[in-house]
Amino acid sequence: MIEIKNLHKSFGDLEVLKGIDLTITPGEIVSILGGSGSGKSTMMRCINGLEGLSSGSISVDGFDVSNKKELQAVRKKCSMVFQQFDLYPHLSVLDNITLAPINVLGENKVDAKERARALLMSVELDDKANVYPAQLSGGQKQRVGICRALAMYPDYLLLDEVTSSLDPEMTAEVLVILKKLAAEGITMISVTHEIEFAREISNRIIFLDEGVILSDLPTEQFFSKDGGKAEPRIAKFLSKMGE
């Protein structure tokens, strides 16, 4: 379970998160929506300790992200995939995927490679194991990024606008993979602008506005007229997104 309690986060004078309370239980598929600058990425980065908290607390299965001794455990549980596929350019696809399992989890090389190949197979990139990131399309890089995250056996997969820099065709490639993962029962927290995708895969939608949670509803209710859409800010956001 991920438990966020009264999270505040400021950068200098700018208060970006203004008291977030959120609990995510295993098996949930949660989509985070909200306008640009509302604090979505900051919240995601706080969850796995990439940003320190100004106040409040976050725990992941009981491990406190603000406790240096427990941060490693938090990071093992939460794998994050970013908008910019941050693959290591000097490593092959296979080595990108096996690096952390070998160095952080202490997995042996043979097992790590075998698992990496199986993951690549699941995203239909088994023929790309030995190429370098520069030889991949954006969609392929992002699929490798997802494999790299999954190679850590995460309990929670955190996705921050993973399709934002992709064209529609490559976006579709990546969404297919994420839908498959969601159906397999992984716990997923996904910041996305793909409203239809969010609607299709999520059990729950969180709408963030200027650093507060404006709405936290089951998906169907979020999209209903007397649910999320009753909130003018959300209705406006959704209509801008073509909903």
CB of 141 to ligand ADP, least distance (A): 21
CB of 51 to ligand ADP, least distance (A): 7
User: Of the candidates 41, 48, 98, 215, which one interacts with Mg ion according to CB under 5 A?
Assistant: 41
Of 50 and 73, CB closest to ligand ADP = 50
Q: Which stretch binds ligand ADP (CB under 6 A): 9-17, 54-62, 105-113, 199-207?
A: 9-17
Using CA atoms of 14, 20, 161, 27 in order, give the dihedral in degrees to the nearest 10: 160
CB under 5 to 8 A by kind: which of Mg ion, ligand ADP, none does 38 bind? ligand ADP
Of 129 and 195, CB closest to Mg ion = 195
Tokens read off for 34:
């909200």
State how far the Cα of 183 lies from the Cα of 94, in Å rounded to an integer: 25
CB of 46 to ligand ADP, least distance (A): 9
Of 40 and 141, CB closest to Mg ion = 40
State how far the Cα of 243 lies from the Cα of 195, in Å rounded to an integer: 8
Of 27 and 52, CB closest to ligand ADP = 52
Return the closest-CA partner of residue 56 out of 26, 13, 17, 25.
17
Of 14-53, binders to ligand ADP (CB under 6 A) are 14, 16, 34, 36-42
Of 40 and 148, CB closest to Mg ion = 40
Separation of first and last alpha carbons in the chain: 31
CA atoms lying within 13 Å on the CB side of residue 5: 11
CB of 93 to Mg ion, least distance (A): 26
State how far the Cα of 85 lies from the Cα of 158, in Å rounded to an integer: 14
Of 180 and 236, CB closest to ligand ADP = 236
**What is the 3-class SS of 155-214, one letter each residue?**
CEEEEECCCCCCCHHHHHHHHHHHHHHHHCCCEEEEECCCHHHHHHHCCEEEEEECCEEE
Residue 113 interacting with ligand ADP (CB under 6 A): no
CA atoms lying within 13 Å on the CB side of residue 122: 18
CB of 158 to Mg ion, least distance (A): 12
CB under 5 to 8 A by kind: which of Mg ion, ligand ADP, none does 39 bind? ligand ADP
- Where does this chain bind ligand ADP (CB under 6 A)? 11, 14, 16, 34, 36-42
- Where does this chain bind Mg ion (CB under 5 A)? 40-41
